[in-house]
Chain A
Amino acid sequence: APSLTTEQLDMGVDWLSKFGYLPPPDPVTGQLQTKEALTRAIKAMQKFGGLKVTGLLDQATLGLMKTPRCSLPDVSEMDVASRRRRR
Chain B
Amino acid sequence: SSSQQNKWNKRHLSWRVRTFPKDSALLGRDTVRALMYYALKVWSDIAPLNFHEVAGNDADIQIDFTKADHNDGYPFDGPGGTVAHAFFPGERFTAGDTHFDDDEAWTFRSPESHGMDLFAVAVHEFGHAIGLVHTSAMESIMRPYYQGPVGDPLKYDLPYEDKVRVWQLYGVRDSVSYTNQPGGASQTPDPPVLLDLPDNRSTPLLVQDAPDRCTSRFDAVAQIRGEAFFFKGKYFWRLTREKHLVSLRPAQIHRFWKGLPPNLDSVDAVYERPGDHKIVFFKGLKYWVFKDNNVEEGYPRPITDFGLPVEAVDAAFVWQHNDKTYFFKDNQFWRYDDHLRHMDMGYPKDSILWKGLPPHLDDAMRWSDGSSYFFNGKEYWQVPGSDMEVEAGSPRLIAKDWLFCTEMQADSPDTEAKSTETRVNVHRHPDHAENGFEVCSCTS
The chain A residues found within 8 Å of chain B, CB to CB, are 19, 47-50, 64, 66-76, 78-79, 82
Contacts and interface: CB of A to CB of B under 8 A. Distances in A.
Given A70-B84, A76-B2, 14 more contacts: A49-B145, A50-B136, A50-B138, A64-B145, A66-B80, A68-B82, A69-B144, A70-B85, A71-B82, A71-B83, A72-B86, A72-B134, A78-B2, A78-B3
A75 B2 contact: yes
Contact of A68 (B85, B128, B133, B145): B145
Nearest to B3: A78
A69 B5 CA distance: 19
* Top 7 closest pairs, chain A to chain B, by CB: A71-B85, A71-B82, A79-B2, A68-B146, A71-B74, A48-B136, A74-B134
16 contacts: A48-B134, A49-B145, A50-B138, A68-B83, A68-B116, A68-B145, A70-B84, A70-B144, A71-B76, A71-B82, A72-B86, A73-B134, A74-B134, A76-B5, A76-B133, A79-B2
B81 interface: yes
Given A48-B136, A79-B2, A72 B128 contact: yes
A68 B124 CA distance: 13
Nearest to B82: A71
Contacts of B83: 68-71
A49 B138 CA distance: 8
Given A71-B76, A76-B2, A19 B144 contact: yes
B2 A69 contact: no
Interface residues of B, number: 25
B407 interface: no
Interface in B94-136: 104, 116, 121, 124-125, 128, 133-134, 136
A72 to B, nearest CB: 5
Contacts of B86: 72
Interface in B313-334: none
Interface of B: 2-3, 5, 74, 76, 80-86, 104, 116, 121, 124-125, 128, 133-134, 136, 138, 144-146
A82 B121 CA distance: 29
B140 to A, nearest CB: 11
B80 A72 contact: no
A74 B144 contact: yes
Given A48-B136, A50-B138, A70 B3 contact: no
A76 B3 contact: yes
Contacts of B80: 66, 68
Nearest to B88: A72
Contacts of A71: 74, 76, 82-85
A49 B2 contact: no
Contacts of B124: 70
Nearest to A67: B145
Contacts of A70: 82-85, 121, 124-125, 128, 134, 144
A50 B147 CA distance: 13
Contacts of A19: 144
A68 B138 CA distance: 16
Contacts of A47: 136
B94 to A, nearest CB: 12
Nearest to A47: B136
Contacts of B84: 70-71
A11 to B, nearest CB: 11
B80 to A, nearest CB: 5
Contacts of A73: 134
Nearest to B146: A68
Nearest to A79: B2
